[in-house]
Amino acid sequence: MTIALDAMGGDKAPDAVVAGANIARKRHPEVRFVFFGDAKLIEPRLRRFKSLAKVARVVNAPEVVAADARPSQVVRTGRDTSMWKAVEAVRDGAADGVVSAGNTGALMAAAMFTLRTLPDIDRPAIAGFMPSLRGETVLLDLGANVKCDARNLVQFAVMGEVYCRTLLGAQEPKVALLNVGTEETKGNEILKEAAEILAAADLPVTFCGFVEGDDITAGTVDVIVTDGFTGNVALKTVEGAAKLIGQYIRQSFRSSLMAGIGYLFARRAFAKMRRRTDPRRYNGAMLLGLNGICVKSHGGTDALGFATAIGVAVDMVRNDANELIAEHLGKVDLGPTRGSEPAIKVASS
Amino acid sequence: MTIALDAMGGDKAPDAVVAGANIARKRHPEVRFVFFGDAKLIEPRLRRFKSLAKVARVVNAPEVVAADARPSQVVRTGRDTSMWKAVEAVRDGAADGVVSAGNTGALMAAAMFTLRTLPDIDRPAIAGFMPSLRGETVLLDLGANVKCDARNLVQFAVMGEVYCRTLLGAQEPKVALLNVGTEETKGNEILKEAAEILAAADLPVTFCGFVEGDDITAGTVDVIVTDGFTGNVALKTVEGAAKLIGQYIRQSFRSSLMAGIGYLFARRAFAKMRRRTDPRRYNGAMLLGLNGICVKSHGGTDALGFATAIGVAVDMVRNDANELIAEHLGKVDLGPTRGSEPAIKVASS
């Protein structure tokens, strides 16, 4: 298996990408890597990791997609960038999957343009997972589609179900639509229509109806489907709440001598909790619905986080996730697809 | 000042309502209370609080709005319920404001039907506040309007700004729209149109553009405006995340003997943090945009939480919040209002 890496994407590129690949190499010894980026920057870094260098090659593509570049701009003028070249490697069969920590919108545009969408898919979606009281919850769309219709949501449900099976090993993942109440009468017409289609008995999805915002972290179901606007807000709201409470915990331990002594006793337990909730453990959002495995790493992550994102790509390739998605989508008759123009509006992440 | 109380609304009614009023009485000695509900249940409870009984009277209205009643059903058949009668007291001038911990949709319907909306308001909104890294953030709409147009959002911004001034004492509160990115190009057409109107120089709002989900708890701005779908999801997502991390903290302290000893030292500091983040301190969502002060308490709260909700109503009455809202809205020319049919779809809370 070969994974293409955009060595120039993300705040800490190329260091985090090269060092991240080295961590991933130890976890997945069967994987080979192709780095796309400025060879002058990548090669000296690669020399530090001799075992990695043996399973890696470098393709010189020094142009970088700017963090604030618009997707349309990248489609027009970004064909020589490290990101575009890395995605092309998947299309050309030179790699089985690609990982980039660069601009989300640009990556989605490059992937849609280069890899194209799967048959029966109107629009791809971005899926991620986060910790819950019962384990982990998959949430999608995280921002690829600001507006979605019922067809989109149904397709997201089918894809999210496969993503959850593949990545988290869930047997029959429970899938629900995010809403403002659990009763059938709640929400808008799009949600009601999507719920009706998903409730049809012959779909390859265990559909559980509507859930609410607090169900994301409660782990009521395994997969929560929503449009890219709400999903992006929900994801960032969880991140923000975690940051606030983390600050409260630090302030509490620092608020008195007694609390400081308490910290000395409890710090190992809290370090364990920090490791468990470490965002780097939940890094690697999957661009679902494309003719190829494409994973978006958080732009600010380090080597450890990037290694997790590589792991997501490896899991998806190894388990033939896209074949399973195509097979499951084939069972859903929603009529002809509505084309696959590149996603121009992608939320930042 | 007189506050009408729906003594039958909420999971712990009437106990939490009567005991909550007794706490509020100590905080606001100038306030008188009228309890609407089953006199046979209220009067014996009132006898336990002699000082409260002196400033309270009871209006017998034993009918209760069911927790799962549809708003339309309440409008048709709920005119004799404790909730409806309590709201009517505000319309009739017998009370200056009303507080209910009952069914949110029913309360909104009763309030819209009875009190009517303020001039220049298309739709009322539900506003609440929550802790942030910098203090407190006002968020609206929390679920009154699943779908909103640009006019609605602009009106919410003006009302939320006054709510923030009145309740949190902010001098020139910063107001922003919730979006999936901070750039002007992000989001849908409705958000872009609302941002354009709000950016006009002559509005009584300090508009700061777009913010993202993590800004709610970061406290980047004082007031965050969104539609009732996204607002409801965001609010519950924060609640869910807080619950998850609270669980992690408990697990950490229980995970080893050392951590348990640490807890003995740190528990006072953590109790302080719990008090600071106590949802009861943030109870009392305001139904903004009505011809009268109407506050919704969380249905599951206790006496302390209900007293906070009464405090919100008292603050809004004392500071003539509705006069200020009407004045500010008068400065916003959005053309004629679009009627004020009762809000039938209100998210649960």
pLDDT band with cut points at 50, 70 and 90 for residue B343: very low
Contact (Cβ atoms closer than 8 angstroms) between residue B204 and residue B213: no
Q: Do A252 and B261 touch (CB under 8 A)?
A: no
Nearest partner of A35 among A11, A62, A66, judged by Cα:
A62
Contact (Cβ atoms closer than 8 angstroms) between residue B276 and residue B248: no
CA angle B89, B289, B13 (to 5 degrees): 45
Number of helices (H), then strands (E), belonging to chain A: the values are 13, 11
* Closest Cβ–Cβ partner in A185, A216, A252 for B240: A216
Contacts of B143 in chain A (CB under 8 A): 180
Interface check for B258 against chain A (CB to CB < 8 A): the answer is: yes
Interface check for A275 against chain B (CB to CB < 8 A): the answer is: no
Q: Do A258 and B266 touch (CB under 8 A)?
A: yes
Q: What is the mean pLDDT of residues B240-244?
A: 92
Rg, Å, chain A Cα set: 20
pLDDT band with cut points at 50, 70 and 90 for residue B276: confident
pLDDT band with cut points at 50, 70 and 90 for residue A337: low
Which pLDDT score, from 0 to 100, does residue A345 have?
47
DSSP A279: G
Q: Do A180 and B270 touch (CB under 8 A)?
A: no
Higher pLDDT, B182 or B46: B46
pLDDT band with cut points at 50, 70 and 90 for residue B335: low
pLDDT band with cut points at 50, 70 and 90 for residue B337: low
Q: What is the mean pLDDT of residues B146-173?
A: 93
Given the DSSP bridges, would you call strands B174-178 and B206-211 parallel, antiparallel or unpaired?
parallel
pLDDT band with cut points at 50, 70 and 90 for residue A342: very low
In this predicted structure, the answer to whether residue A83 has a pLDDT above a threshold of 80 is: yes
Which pLDDT score, from 0 to 100, does residue A253 have?
92
Contacts of B244 in chain A (CB under 8 A): 131-133, 217-218
Contact (Cβ atoms closer than 8 angstroms) between residue A336 and residue B169: no
pLDDT band with cut points at 50, 70 and 90 for residue A183: confident
Reported as a single tens digit per residue, the pLDDT across A191-206 is 999 999 999 867 889 9
Mind telling me how many Å the CA of A42 is from chain B's nearest CA? 31
> What is the spatial distance between Cα B254 and Cα A175, in angstroms, rounded to a whole number?
33
Interface check for A200 against chain B (CB to CB < 8 A): the answer is: no
Q: Do A133 and B266 touch (CB under 8 A)?
A: no
Which pLDDT score, from 0 to 100, does residue B120 have?
84
Q: What is the mean pLDDT of residues B305-317?
A: 96
In this predicted structure, the answer to whether residue A343 has a pLDDT above a threshold of 50 is: no
pLDDT band with cut points at 50, 70 and 90 for residue B185: confident
Q: Do A234 and B234 touch (CB under 8 A)?
A: yes
Higher pLDDT, B20 or A120: B20
Reported as a single tens digit per residue, the pLDDT across A212-251 is 999 999 999 999 999 999 999 999 999 999 999 999 999 9
pLDDT band with cut points at 50, 70 and 90 for residue B338: low
Q: Do B244 and A133 touch (CB under 8 A)?
A: yes
Q: Do B243 and A214 touch (CB under 8 A)?
A: yes
Q: Do B347 and A215 touch (CB under 8 A)?
A: no
Mind telling me how many Å the CA of A191 is from chain B's nearest CA? 11
Q: What is the mean pLDDT of residues B193-198?
A: 94
Contacts of A277 in chain B (CB under 8 A): 245, 248
Amino acid at A199: A
Mind telling me how many Å the CA of A143 is from chain B's nearest CA? 7
CA angle B140, B144, B147 (to 5 degrees): 90
Reported as a single tens digit per residue, the pLDDT across A30-49 is 999 999 999 999 999 999 99
Interface check for A282 against chain B (CB to CB < 8 A): the answer is: no
Interface check for A257 against chain B (CB to CB < 8 A): the answer is: no
Contacts of B235 in chain A (CB under 8 A): 213
In this predicted structure, the answer to whether residue A341 has a pLDDT above a threshold of 50 is: no
pLDDT band with cut points at 50, 70 and 90 for residue A340: very low
Number of helices (H), then strands (E), belonging to chain B: the values are 13, 11
pLDDT band with cut points at 50, 70 and 90 for residue A338: low
Which pLDDT score, from 0 to 100, does residue A62 have?
95
Contacts of B126 in chain A (CB under 8 A): none
Strands (E), A84-148: 97-100, 125-132, 135-140
Contact (Cβ atoms closer than 8 angstroms) between residue A210 and residue A191: yes
Chain B residue closest in CA terms to A268: B259
Q: What is the pTM of this model?
A: 0.91
Reported as a single tens digit per residue, the pLDDT across A127-166 is 999 999 999 999 999 999 999 999 999 999 999 999 999 9
Q: Do B218 and A244 touch (CB under 8 A)?
A: yes
In this predicted complex, what is the ipTM?
0.89
φ and ψ of A290, to 5 deg: -105, 160
> How far is the CA of A161 from the CAs of A150, A154, A174, A210, B172, in angstroms?
17, 11, 8, 16, 47
Chain A residue closest in CA terms to B148: A188
Cis peptide before A279 (omega within 30 of 0): no
Q: Which helix (H) or strand (E) holds B125?
A: strand B125-132
The gap from C-alpha A195 to its chain's centroid, in whole angstroms, comes to 24
Reported as a single tens digit per residue, the pLDDT across B146-156 is 999 999 999 99
Interface check for A94 against chain B (CB to CB < 8 A): the answer is: no
Reported as a single tens digit per residue, the pLDDT across A252-294 is 999 899 999 999 999 898 898 888 888 888 999 999 999 999 9
In this predicted structure, the answer to whether residue A334 has a pLDDT above a threshold of 90 is: no
Q: What is the mean pLDDT of residues B12-24?
A: 96
Which pLDDT score, from 0 to 100, does residue A336 have?
63
The gap from C-alpha B254 to its chain's centroid, in whole angstroms, comes to 36
In this predicted structure, the answer to whether residue A346 has a pLDDT above a threshold of 70 is: no
In this predicted structure, the answer to whether residue A98 has a pLDDT above a threshold of 60 is: yes
* Closest Cβ–Cβ partner in B241, B261, B265 for A217: B241
* Closest Cβ–Cβ partner in B146, B180, B214 for A188: B146
Contacts of A252 in chain B (CB under 8 A): 266, 269-270, 272-273
Helix A257-276 to helix A228-254 angle (10° resolution) is: 150
Interface check for B267 against chain A (CB to CB < 8 A): the answer is: yes
In this predicted structure, the answer to whether residue B257 has a pLDDT above a threshold of 80 is: yes
Chain A residue closest in CA terms to B212: A233
Q: Do A345 and B218 touch (CB under 8 A)?
A: no
Note which residues in 1-60 of chain B have CB less than 8 A from chain A.
Answer: none
Contact (Cβ atoms closer than 8 angstroms) between residue B154 and residue B338: no
Reported as a single tens digit per residue, the pLDDT across B200-221 is 867 889 999 999 999 999 999 9
Contacts of A347 in chain B (CB under 8 A): 180-181, 186
Q: What is the mean pLDDT of residues B231-259?
A: 92
Contacts of B189 in chain A (CB under 8 A): none
Interface check for A245 against chain B (CB to CB < 8 A): the answer is: yes
Q: Do A232 and B213 touch (CB under 8 A)?
A: yes
Q: Do B238 and A241 touch (CB under 8 A)?
A: yes
Share of chain B above pLDDT 90, in %: 78
Q: What is the mean pLDDT of residues A298-317?
A: 96
Which pLDDT score, from 0 to 100, does residue A349 have?
44
The β-bridge partners of B99 are B5, B295
Q: Do A229 and B180 touch (CB under 8 A)?
A: yes
Share of chain B above pLDDT 70, in %: 95
In this predicted structure, the answer to whether residue B110 has a pLDDT above a threshold of 50 is: yes
Interface check for B248 against chain A (CB to CB < 8 A): the answer is: yes
Q: Do A212 and B247 touch (CB under 8 A)?
A: no
Which pLDDT score, from 0 to 100, does residue B226 have?
98
